[in-house]
Amino acid sequence: MNKKLLAIIVAACAAVLAFALVGCGGQSASSASSASGSSASAASSAASSAAAGDTKVVTDAYGRTVEVPANAQTAATVGSGARFVVYAGAEDKLIAVTEMETDAQLNRPYAIAFADKFADLPATSNGNHLLETEVNEEELVKLAPDVIISSRSKEECDQLQADTGIPVIGITYQNQLFTDNVYNSIECVAQALGTEDHAAEVIAKMKEWEADLTGRVANISDDDKPTVYVGAVNYKGAKSWGGTYAHYACTDVLGAKNVADETGQDGALDVDLEQIGAWNPDYMFLNAGNIDMLKADYAENKDFFDGLKAFQEGHLYTQPFFNFNGTNVDTGICDTYFIGATIYPEAFADVDLDAKYAEIYETMLDGFDFYSVMKENKMGFKTFPSLED
């Protein structure tokens, strides 16, 4: 190591100590990555910035301390990071996203909200949140964003930062709604990109919704709680009736009796029709996006399904699925209100659900009215359509 480089590094360390540590802790997740490459010039640039004293330290959702420019103006994303850039109100600073954003779909509200902007940005990875990803590190180095926001694992964040010399802020939030991980992920993105005030407003509203939901169900006894089954839940691919989720975020918030919790598992799982029959739930909430699969299986097992309590009592409802390449926290909160109002109608009798859905989406998506888009596309929170059409 030559004396000049050593001097830069020493100056960089001194500059870091001059700033207060800005924190937003969290937990780790796991995933795989197939990226490679490095950039000595980018690393040198970061050291020069530190030496100039214009950096700050942010603690990301994995507990990693990351030195970032004090006034970051540009950002790129890896995995589903763009979702939380939008939640943090910093979408205007994006100069690169992923293929998941440039090809906006209705199952990712944040991408629809800023479809025109994202369509004009370069995509530097395929955008996979959990599945194997490919990151074009060479292109990221050329674009030279001030910060990269990544939803990949802690280890991948470390590797990407080492390879590119660009600060990487990690977020983690799979199948979570009102958790420290979600709040910390919004906060650390905002701290890195300078939108702390916006993020604080979003988080305050989220905590208000959480308190409202939990308060409404707090005094409902277990004897008065019907059983619930959530079906056609996508996880690493589309699922039919047997795709379900133990400790589903919405039912956990409501303290509802999710029959899948009886398995002792946590997360996505597949069950057979025999198990669904044994549970014989009072209510079924189904992902209407998989209606063709559901219709096909219903046609082959009509007598079985027609004998279920939920079918006989007309308790089949849609559940716009909120886990798609990461968790659409906005849709998940809307789903929670819908499930609550459906299984506990008296507790939610005073809630204007349409107004609540609109409020949630507009808050989370920086003012964008995604609920109107849903209605225009015949999506929504409602009785499940006929399986015999």
Write the pLDDT tens digit of every residue in 193-220. Answer: 999 999 999 999 999 999 999 999 999 9
Mean pLDDT for the chain? 87
Contact between 173 and 151 (Cβ < 8 Å): yes
Residues in the chain: 389
Report pLDDT for 326: 85
Q: Left if phi > 0, otherwise alpha if psi is -120 to 50, otherwise beta: which for 198?
A: alpha
pLDDT at 242: 96
Query: What pLDDT shows up at residue 348?
Result: 98
Above 50 in pLDDT, residue 114? yes
Q: Using one digit for the tens of pLDDT, what is the confidence trace for 63-109? A: 999 999 999 999 999 999 999 999 999 999 999 999 989 989 898 99
Rounded Cα–Cα distance for residues 326 and 61 (Å): 15
* Whole-number pLDDT of residue 7: 38
| pLDDT value at 131 more than 70 | no
> Which one is the CATH code of 221-376: 1.20.1050.10, 3.40.50.1980, 3.40.50.300, 3.40.1280.10?
3.40.50.1980
pLDDT band at 53 (very low <50, low <70, confident <90, very high): low
Q: State the pLDDT at residue 29.
A: 35
Contact 148, 136 (CB under 8 A): no
Strand partners, 229: 284
Flag whether pLDDT at 249 surpasses 60. yes
- Return the pLDDT at 367: 98
Dihedral of CA atoms 332, 338, 340, 344 in degrees, nearest 10, equals -170
Taking the C-alpha atoms of residue 260 and residue 267, their distance in angstroms, rounded to an integer, is 9
| Banded pLDDT at 42 (limits 50, 70, 90) | very low
What is the separation of C-alpha 316 from the centre of its chain, rounded to a whole number of angstroms? 26
Cβ pair 85, 91 in contact under 8 A:
yes
Q: Where are the domains of the chain?
A: 25-196, 221-376
Looking at residue 129, its pLDDT comes to 59
Residue 181's pLDDT is what? 96
Please report the pLDDT score of residue 175 as a whole number: 84
How high is the pLDDT of residue 235? 77
Please give the average per-residue pLDDT across 134-160, as a whole number: 95
Summarize the confidence of residues 355-380 as an average pLDDT: 96
pLDDT at 43 over 60: no
Token output for 313: 């009592």
Instruction: Please give the CATH topology (third level) of the domain spanning 25-196.
Output: Rossmann fold (3.40.50)
- Which tens digit of pLDDT belongs to each residue from 287-332? 998 999 999 999 999 999 999 999 999 999 999 888 877 899 999 9
What is residue 294's three-state secondary structure? Answer: helix
The pLDDT, as a whole number, for residue 255 is: 97
Specify the long-range contacts of residues 266-271, CB closer than 8 Å, at least 24 apart.
Answer: 267/175, 267/235, 268/233, 268/235, 268/236, 268/243, 268/244, 269/244, 269/245, 270/239, 270/242, 270/243, 270/244, 271/242, 271/244
Q: Where are the beta strands (DSSP E) in the chain?
A: 21-22, 55-59, 65-69, 75-78, 94-96, 147-150, 168-170, 227-231, 243-246, 257-258, 267-270, 283-286, 316-318
**Residue for token digits 């939901």?**
213
Percentage of residues of the chain with pLDDT beyond 90: 77
Share of the chain above pLDDT 70, in %: 85
pLDDT (0 to 100) of residue 69: 97
- Is 168 or 22 the better-scoring residue by pLDDT? 168
For 251-300, write each residue's pLDDT tens digit: 999 999 999 999 999 999 999 999 999 999 999 999 998 999 999 999 99
Instruction: Give the per-residue pLDDT at 130.
Output: 60
Q: Taking a C-beta distance cutoff of 8 angstroms, is the pair 139, 82 a contact? A: no
